[in-house]
Chain A
Amino acid sequence: MLDTNLKHLETEQEVKEVLENNENVMICCGRMGPMCIPVYRDMEELEREYSHVAFRDQDFDIPVADFIRSLPECASFMGLPFTVYFKNGKVVTATTSIQRRAQVTEILDKEFGKPS
């Protein structure tokens, strides 16, 4: 289990529920390395501001993470973490490796709208 304050996606049921019950979802799939931790930290802080987005993390090495690893949008990715943004259950954007907060908020604002 990842050592973050985010909700973790550890089962298929949890993945299904978060995508079905939330219009806007950001999932960061990684480990606890120097490229992943900054993204988790930013997500923990952005959760307070972007209440219209569901933020989750997922351990890259668990079998359930295959749904992220095998996404066509992630086919060219060779850097952890894989971060995927879903709108109404469909992928709208995916990024690889470390992302700065400004890069994350640019995507959140563009795909999900700015916080009110």
Chain B
Amino acid sequence: MLCLSQTRTNRNHQQQEQENDVENVVIAGSGPAGLTAAIYTARAQLKPLVFEGLVPGGQLIVSHEVENYPGFPDPVSGMELMEWFRKQAERFGARFKTEAIEKATKRDDIFEIGTSADKIETKALIIATGAEARRLPIPTEPKFYGKGVSGCATCDGAFFRDKEILVVGGGNTAMEDALFLTRFASKVTIVHRREYLRAAPIEVEKAKKNPKIEWMIPWVVEEILGDSVVTGAVLKNPVTEEEREVRCDGIFVAIGHDPKTEVFKHLIETDNNGFAQVEAGSTITSMPGVFACGDVRDPVYKQAVVAAGHGCMAAMDVERYLEVKE
């Protein structure tokens, strides 16, 4: 299938460069959605400018083994996978800045993008900022973050050698984290608030077969215990309302993500949970010239391959938009 970039006539690049430095397209985010959008817009000769954000590569970089991205029969680390995405985008001429976008406004037909170091003008904006990991909604949690509470198994697992850990969550990340942490911990207990686990059956099966993994379902973490470091937790069964104190040295949190739309909320419509709203079958948002792709607009699938597909759609939507503008 030919993509638009192969059928259109070449742009007048000199004219573009002589214009008052207004970008064709800025991409906010550098996960699979943002980088796929970068590949496609770069191939369309739009010279995209990608703001990588605070965590280049997005959520995938915490996955030490990605087994379900098509084209990789053997597991690949999330970091490595995103490096390849980036290299591909660079090969076609995508440009990168390490900053995160802090401000985005519209003036006439142009978007003004602000970071701590830069002010950029652009004709089109692709929002691919993804989502941020949720923290436990417990008032004392900040005190223990880094002292037993963690949001990154691959970062901090090694600190828990021969210790007992809770992993909170019921999705793929929670299962993967639990399995990963069995390399270090003497015992891993998965704590989830519902009987239903949304993780893929294959991941649940692996966790169930691991002799180091125990289960507390349905239970929630009510309180974190400890003085300077975590020594335990109070769990509550939401069905029976029973409370139980358990001993543990660490609590790894994998309870989902919230979309990162704060900076753009005044520009585009979002739903009650903050997800960017788009027209069905497209990445078009409520603001002409702004497109949203990946987890920032996807409360359902939240998969890298889906995000990449969205990134391609956003690039093609941008091409059409800019053609009409011209």
Contacts and interface: CB of A to CB of B under 8 A. Distances in A.
A78 B55 contact: no
Given A33-B152, A45-B99, A80-B155, 14 more contacts: A33-B61, A34-B62, A37-B55, A41-B98, A44-B98, A48-B117, A76-B228, A78-B147, A78-B160, A79-B145, A96-B146, A97-B150, A98-B145, A98-B146
Contacts of B152: 33-35, 79-80
B54 A38 contact: yes
Given A33-B61, A45-B116, A78-B250, A95 B54 contact: no
Size band of the interface chain B makes with A:
20 to 34
Given A78-B229, A78-B250, A33 B54 contact: no
A97 B145 contact: yes
Contact of A34 (B61, B145, B229): B61
B56 interface: yes
B29 interface: no
B203 interface: no
Interface of B: 54-56, 59, 61-62, 79, 98-100, 116-117, 145-152, 154-156, 159-160, 228-229, 250
A35 B98 contact: no
A-side binding surface: helix, strand, loop or mixed?
loop
A33 B145 contact: no
Interface string A73-101: 00011111000000000000001111000
Contacts of A80: 152, 155-156
Contacts of B98: 41, 44
